[in-house]
Structure 1
Amino acid sequence: MALDSPAWPHDIPNQRVDRSTQATIRPFCLEIDYEVSLTELTLTQDLRGLIGTLPGADRSLWLARYAEVTGPLNAKGFLITCDERPLSLSVQGYDLSIEEHPRYTFRFQAPLPERGALTIHDTNYTSSEGTSRLAVRARGGAWVQGDDLPPNVEEIAIRPVWQLDDAEERRTRFERVTFRSLGQTGPEKDTPRSDASSGTSSNAPGPPGAATSTSSGRLSKLLDGVTRGSWLWFSLVAAALGAIHAIQPGHGKTLVTAVALGSQSRFYDPALLGLATTLAHTSSVLLLAAILWWTGASQVATIHQHLLRVAGFVIAAGGFWRVGRHLGGWGEGEHADSVTTPAPVDALSPASLVGLGIAGGLVPCWDAVGLLVLCAAIGRLAAGVFLVVSFGVGMACVLVAVGIAAGWLKSALRLSVQARGWESRLGLASGVMLAGIGLVFFLG
């Protein structure tokens, strides 16, 4: 992995980067497994800033290129000294796994004397957010003293950096120990690593996609197959993923149900709201991806919070309006002619439904945004837009189906003599549900 790189640590300001450092002291050798996990959107924007775009590439090559570029930067970000003499880490390879987000494990190595005082200081990602852990252990006939935390990084609790005080945060990046080699004559060079933490046994990075496992539930995984297989097949798979995405908590189902249960809702109201929500959701993905691409920004947390508050305000306002109309109608009925049934609340106009749908779909799926930015970086924007639109079709099918089911339930209750008294209460419940959804969004 020979690559010229500047002599400064790697950093991604104000972005979440989870990292853990497992330092292993062996006879005459220091090994470091440096795990870095980040979103594909953050990864794409970071690599664009380092090398620009990579037209004609595929996703696996882009992910491999990121490791090749950032591996040496991360190695230079470790300030290692032994008896006050600096040591340089060499990059031995990396492993890549993709679950919710890409997770790299870089393997670094440096020679050690027979004994000494060792200092490890990770200066990478100093202005990034996320979690950080550091552990030091001895293996293969080496002895280490001075570390009072568990020797294996997996045994250290994962806590966000902002929850740590200054001393605890420093401990996730800095450690000083004394060590000694016992009964060994020298390091074994260029031999495969045998610890489970080292992943694959190769000492150099493999071809693009090597040592990589991906989750079948990720939209971005479809990108590599679109140009190799049937576009119809991959559109169906993307639509299925969109349907699964819509089934998960949130994503507009409660909003559609609340409108469908309104006392004066029409049979097509849920369908119109579901379509408006999906269209707004897909449009927000396309628009935000374009903004992030042209600005080079990746401040998704701040954007997400602002969008949530705007959407929450609009939805809560609509909900409180409906509650007020119901309660007002109830009061008027009781004083005017002692009728206990509340006055009906006017059905939402199509424009109001579209407005609610826009508010409900304002917050995008950030994985889809990241996919579009990645597609633009590797020159496959058309494939990305195709997948995102197919994804939205799947979402629309679920939301419309939920709305129709809720409307059918209300119609069934309306036909029941015993349940007729509940119809107006369903309308009130509809307003309360809308107000509750909006408040949850607004308060974050």
Structure 2
Amino acid sequence: MRRSVFIALASAAFLGTGTGVASAHPLGNFTINHYAGLAVRPDTVNVDYVIDMAEIPAFQERADIDRDGDGVLSGAELATYAAARCDALRSGLSLRVDGRALALSVASATTALPLGQAGLSTLRLECEYRSALDAGADARSRLLEFADVNYADRIGWREVTARGDGIRLETTLPSESASARLTAYPQDLLSSPLDIRGGSIRFTAGAPIVEPEAIAPPAAAPATDGRPTDVLAALIGQRELSLIGMLAALLIALGLGVLHALSPGHGKTVMAAYLVGTRGTRRQALVLGPVVALSHTAGVLLLGAVTIAASRLIAPERLYPYLSMAAGVIVLGIGLALIQRRIRVRGHGHDHQHHHEETAAPLGWRPLVALGLSGGIVPSASALLLLLGAIHFDRIGFGMVLILAFGLGMAVTLVGVGLVLVGARRLTQSAANGHRLIRRGLRWMPELTALLVVLFGLGMTAQALATIL
């Protein structure tokens, strides 16, 4: 009981400071990150291979690790998984010398499960591979080629380094890891992570060692702050969850929904254009928020099902560009409908002041619902982590309640934004009664906002297509 009270007070303090939702993994909760360090010697090539999985792909791996299905990952299970996975990953690594493929053997394999966000663990797999080099003339220049095609369809950091021992190297690959073997990602590269999937090395056995110049790694990304979700995980993970603990968890989930709704996205700009340009009502503003929240909740549950049941068929993060494109197409369709309506109205000469109330009336409920769907169709990774964390602690029902609370926080926030927009538009119209110039500007407001909606729809669709293609 005292533990629940302490966590509840801590959660209130954390939310009160306005702490944003941050991913525990610097590169995002969906990423699978790669490092391959090549060490070339006169008679062998060693490959130091590291895979760093963020929370969601690590969660997907649990079924393969937990062989006895008891929900506990024992040391023996981790060792068995590491040996099997390192052996399987060999097929995705290509090592060739002078065009001839070299066979890689597993020298060592280890797995660790560092704690991540929302009570979920990340996964770190380290594989040491070795391959023998055939004897050749010491002075002969040889070409070594390396490629990594493992998890080719998953997003993440990819890095390759090369060093020589008694070998002269000529390569563009660096000799030092910019991420310290995926333990300290550079702050200035988080938005555009390295994507090095291979490289070539010319070497001459017995020649003086000339290694690539070491590149001083940039400042590492600081540890990210996932305190609200971490406190929530501590609450969910208690053996006996008290009433205060449940209320605190609901409060945190509600607060996370509010913070998520205030973050960039969710069509707030498009919603503003629609409510202002079509003379939206308070009633419509009250409906728009819940529609966004419901569509977002449905998206989280769908993505959670894909993450658990269909992870071998499709990477969950690959759905995001398609969902974003669907949202963009919906917004574009709404904008085109608004433009078509304004052209029809102008063509009939109904743009006079005494017809203004009729011609600027909202399109109706269908476009409003479609607009709400476009704002919530792309699920939040933070909400997905809440759901997966609840599943991890075997509290699926409570996890569903937390997702609903998350959606409620979004709905309340977006309704508030909508009501402010409707009120601001009415104040502007009242202030325009004595200003002819403002009245003229308001007369053209439906056309301008329709054009703005079209431009946003085009931008969203183009951005999603660029990611897909």
TM-score (norm 2): 0.65
- The one-letter code sitting in structure 2 at the alignment partner of 1:267 is R
> What's the CA shift string for 1:388-420, capped at 9, x where partnerless?
222212211221121112112111101103344
Partner of 2:162: 136
Partner of 2:235: 225
Partner of 1:170: 198
Find 1:151's aligned residue among 147, 164, 175.
175
| 1:71 matched to 2:99 | no
| 1:440 matched to 2:448 | no
Q: Kindly tell me: are residues 127 and 353 of structure 1, through their superposed partners in 2, closer, same or farther at Cα, counting changes over 3 Å?
A: closer
Q: Kindly tell me: are residues 410 and 90 of structure 1, through their superposed partners in 2, closer, same or farther at Cα, counting changes over 3 Å?
A: same
| 1:285 matched to 2:303 | no
> What's the CA shift string for 1:290-315, capped at 9, x where partnerless?
35434444433443333333333232
Give SS of 2:114's match. Answer: strand
Give the Å deviation of 1:430. 3.1
Partner of 1:96: 114
Give SS of 1:321's match. Answer: helix
Q: Which runs of 5+ in 1 are unaligned?
A: 1-14, 162-167, 181-195, 198-212
- Separation (CA, whole Å) in 2 of partners of 1:122 and 1:65: 31
Question: Relative contact order: is structure 1 or structure 2 higher (C-alpha 8 Å, sep ≥ 6)?
Answer: 1
- Separation (CA, whole Å) in 2 of partners of 1:270 and 1:95: 45
- Separation (CA, whole Å) in 1 of partners of 2:110 and 2:307: 34
Give SS of 2:428's match. Answer: helix
- Separation (CA, whole Å) in 2 of partners of 1:92 and 1:261: 58
Give SS of 1:333's match. Answer: coil
| 1:309 matched to 2:309 | no
> What's the CA shift string for 1:206-263, capped at 9, x where partnerless?
xxxxxxx763167477334324361211222222222222222211312321232134
Partner of 1:192: none
CA contact (8 A) 2:148 2:198 kept: no
- Separation (CA, whole Å) in 1 of partners of 2:112 and 2:86: 12
Partner of 2:450: 431
Find 2:380's aligned residue among 365, 380, 384.
365
Give the Å deviation of 1:273. 0.6
Find 1:20's aligned residue among 23, 32, 35.
35
- Separation (CA, whole Å) in 2 of partners of 1:390 and 1:226: 14
Q: Kindly tell me: are residues 51 and 327 of structure 1, through their superposed partners in 2, closer, same or farther at Cα, counting changes over 3 Å?
A: same
| 1:401 matched to 2:416 | yes
CA contact (8 A) 1:48 1:377 kept: no
CA contact (8 A) 1:19 1:35 kept: yes
CA contact (8 A) 1:309 1:441 kept: yes
Give the Å deviation of 1:88. 3.9
Partner of 2:251: 236
Q: Kindly tell me: are residues 87 and 302 of structure 1, through their superposed partners in 2, closer, same or farther at Cα, counting changes over 3 Å?
A: closer
Q: Kindly tell me: are residues 235 and 429 of structure 1, through their superposed partners in 2, closer, same or farther at Cα, counting changes over 3 Å?
A: farther
CA contact (8 A) 1:136 1:147 kept: no
The Cα RMSD (Å) is 4.8
Partner of 1:346: 361
Q: Which runs of 5+ in 2 are unaligned?
A: 1-29, 137-141, 180-185, 207-215, 218-222, 465-469
Give SS of 2:400's match. Answer: helix
- Separation (CA, whole Å) in 2 of partners of 1:214 and 1:339: 57
- The one-letter code sitting in structure 2 at the alignment partner of 1:71 is A
- Separation (CA, whole Å) in 2 of partners of 1:85 and 1:396: 57
Partner of 1:204: none
- Separation (CA, whole Å) in 1 of partners of 2:459 and 2:316: 19
Report matched runs for 1:414-425 at 5 Å: 414-416=429-431, 417=433, 418=435, 419-425=438-444
CA contact (8 A) 1:246 1:252 kept: no
Which segment is superposed worse, 398-407 or 418-427? 418-427
Partner of 1:379: 394
Question: Percent identity, aligned pairs only?
Answer: 20
Partner of 1:328: 344
Which segment is superposed worse, 351-360 or 73-82? 73-82
CA contact (8 A) 1:315 1:434 kept: yes
- Separation (CA, whole Å) in 2 of partners of 1:255 and 1:349: 16
Partner of 1:255: 270
Partner of 1:184: none
CA contact (8 A) 1:145 1:177 kept: yes
Q: Kindly tell me: are residues 435 and 52 of structure 1, through their superposed partners in 2, closer, same or farther at Cα, counting changes over 3 Å?
A: farther
- The one-letter code sitting in structure 2 at the alignment partner of 1:353 is L
Give the Å deviation of 1:441. 3.1
Give the Å deviation of 1:65. 9.9
CA contact (8 A) 1:257 1:270 kept: no
Give the Å deviation of 1:277. 0.8
TM-score (norm 1): 0.68
Partner of 2:150: 125
Give the Å deviation of 1:153. 1.8
Partner of 1:215: 225
- Separation (CA, whole Å) in 2 of partners of 1:65 and 1:247: 45
Give SS of 2:178's match. Answer: helix
CA contact (8 A) 1:98 1:215 kept: no
Q: Kindly tell me: are residues 65 and 377 of structure 1, through their superposed partners in 2, closer, same or farther at Cα, counting changes over 3 Å?
A: farther
Equivalenced residue count is: 385
